[in-house]
Amino acid sequence: MNLAKYQKTAGLAERSKYFVVLWMLFGEPLVSSSIPGTKFRILLLRFFGAKIGNGVVIKPRVQIKYPWKLSIGDNSWIGEHVWIDNLAEVSIGHDVCISQGAYLCTGSHDWTSATFDLITQSITLEAHSWVCAKATIGPGSKLGEGSVVSLGCVFTGTLGPWQIISAKKEELCSNTRRVIK
């Protein structure tokens, strides 16, 4: 790769530069602050285009790249120090838990390209899934209903419904289905 030839992707934010600057100067610093409270975070994120359901909890020190590329279903929780690096759409279903320090990354680079081109892919977390503390979810990933990415795992791909990926076992555990009423 030749980084001198890298070209920033135009239009990535999909909003006017003034809107993006407004988010970066006012919205993002307040959402990512240590000030306690969920309601003002949700109001700010909605103002900047996020689709957020009822009963959502967003803890302090959460980083979100572009709120207009984020949707969160009812009763989902976003823990402290979660980083949603959403250069592409991130869709979080209802009753999803994203624990402390988790990282959702929608972008990478083509290391085979001389110009190190940016590649973005969306992330989908279906209902009742759980991204445990310090886990990383890569571009293009989809977690099926009730699936779990355990503590510290790095995951890319598709995890089926009611499955668990565990760094400890280094294998996919299945048949974890349980009825949630």
Give the burial class of 106: count Cβ atoms within 10 A of its Cβ; 0-12 exposed, 13-18 middle, 19 or more buried: buried
Pair 162, 178: CB distance under 8 Å: yes
pTM of the model: 0.89
Confidence class for position 169, pLDDT limits 50, 70, 90? low
What lies within 8 Å, CB to CB, of 18 at 6+ separation is none
Tell me, what DSSP letter sits at residue 93? -
Share of the chain residues as helix, strand and coil, in percent rounded to the nearest 5: 15, 25, 55
Residue 150: pLDDT band (50, 70, 90) is very high
**Average pLDDT in the 46-61 region?**
98
Q: Which tokens in the block code for residue 26?
A: 């006012």
Residue 10 pLDDT > 80, yes or no? no
Position with higher pLDDT, 65 vs 167: 65
Mean pLDDT of the chain: 91
Longest dimension (CA), the chain: 55
| Residue in the structure block whose two tokens are 């699936």 | 147
